[in-house]
Amino acid sequence: MQVDWEKILAARAKTIVGFQIRSFFHLTEKPEVISFAGGFPADSGFPTAEIKEALACLLETEGKEALQYGPTEGIFELRQFIARKMAGEGISAPVESIMITNGSQQGLDLVFRLLLDPHDYILVEEPGYIGGLGAIQNYQGTRVGIPLGKEGLDLDYLEKKLKLMKMKGRKPKCIYTIPNFQNPTGAVLPLEGRRRLLELASEYDFLIVEDNPYGEICFEGEKLPSIKSLDKEGRVIYLGSFSKIFVPGIRVGWVLAPAPFMNKLILAKQATDLCSNSLGQRLLCQVLRSGFLAGHVEKLVKHYRLKRDIILESMERYFPPQVQFTRPRGGFFTWVSFPSSLYPPAGEILLKALERKVAFVHGDGFYSTAGKIPSYEARFSFSQPAPEQLEEGIKRLGQLLYEMQRLSKSAAVSGS
């Protein structure tokens, strides 16, 4: 008898779809393409020499521990370091409230696994991080989009939405948010907004899942207190990552959660992969002991600030003035809006850009309507391309955008 896969799969398997980004990596990540698509950290910023040295030392002194299974919740020394780091950011959290994960993405997976029953409501930013939306979809959560402006989440809209939901007897379990240098827009939620979000969470009784992978990549202005540091009711679950401030290839992130939830998280991780990789965790400990990280992050901030400056200056110079873009003061991304009166949806612009060997990610996948409503927006990541590529890529795209405008105008003229 042949296997009928459609019939045998669980309901949740049927709704799983891929990230649009990854489905065309084979096009965007060709060496001849200047790619603003990836969102990976720059490998030129990896401290390869230091890591080589640290690994040699590690294998000499703690080789057996670095190659053996470790505790599910992560290596104690690393959790201690993170607790101290969090304390420095105004979050007083005991080591026991911290669990190491395979990048913060695994934190999202485990958190949503424990929170979301099928069709549970969850508030998400629109546009929002694709990986977060994917993790929610894995557990069949129903996403309720909250628009994001230049000042982060639109809290007036959120409050109206919450009132409306309450009237309909609908209660969201949580909100998923990246308050610092958001992926994909680069927006920052102001301090007043953080306080108000906590008040709304308390009033309407939902949790806040605060994802902070980019917080330390801050180019200018004040670093705002995390939502977690303002949380008096234990309502915030905080996710951190070493992927952007160290390297992503060791897959080390963390979750910080209130005790009743942390216990469940550890049990869920146990049956998920027993533990995170010991080699990467102990490599990190080795590097952190030397105090290397602080200086390294400073260098990274300079590196990415320079790239941010170049991409914004190039957009200013080469893009038609009708094309708008955000001016992030940290992180990896700027969000570009093409006026729909002049351009086709961004997915079509992308296809033409690829012919000229330039890539970005069009906006469709960042919305909970993914694919149904074509987006006239796009995410540009400035983290990976070299400075000269940044300018060249935007220049090529600028030429394309001017050509498309001319075509669109002459079509309008000949059509009138």
Residues 151-180 touching a copy of itself, rule: CB under 8 A, are 173
CB 367 within 8 A of CB 145: yes
Strands 253-256 and 98-101, by their bridges, are antiparallel
Rule CB under 8 A: say whether 31 interacts with a copy of itself.
no
Per-residue binding letters, 196-215, with a copy of itself (x by CB under 8 A): ------xx-x-x--------
Rule CB under 8 A: say whether 30 interacts with a copy of itself.
no
User: Judged by CB under 8 A, which stretch of 147-155, 263-271, 309-317, 371-379 contacts a copy of itself?
Assistant: 263-271
Strands 358-359 and 34-35, by their bridges, are parallel
Query: Which residue blocks in 116-204 are alpha helix, DSSP H?
Result: 130-138, 155-167, 191-203
Per-residue binding letters, 89-108, with a copy of itself (x by CB under 8 A): ------------xxx-xx--
Nearer to a copy of itself, 268 or 297 (CB): 268
For the CB of residue 206, give the shortest distance to a copy of itself in the complex, in Å: 8
List the one residue from 87, 164, 191, 267 that touches a copy of itself (CB under 8 A): 267
For the CB of residue 139, give the shortest distance to a copy of itself in the complex, in Å: 7
Q: Among residues 239, 276, 241, 230, which one has the least CA distance to residue 257?
A: 239
Q: Taking CB under 8 A as the criterion, which residues in 219-248 touch a copy of itself?
A: 233-235, 243, 247-248
For the CB of residue 289, give the shortest distance to a copy of itself in the complex, in Å: 19
Strands 172-177 and 34-35, by their bridges, are unpaired
Q: How far is CA 232 from the centre of its chain?
A: 25
Nearer to a copy of itself, 49 or 413 (CB): 49
Rule CB under 8 A: say whether 63 interacts with a copy of itself.
yes
Q: Among residues 10, 39, 8, 4, which one has the least CA distance to residue 22?
A: 39
Distance CA 394, CA 34 (A): 9
Task: Give me the count of residues in the chain.
Answer: 416
Burial class from Cβ neighbours inside 10 Å (0-12, 13-18, 19+) for residue 284 reads buried
Per-residue binding letters, 110-129, with a copy of itself (x by CB under 8 A): ---xxxxx--x---------
Structure tokens at 58: 């590690």
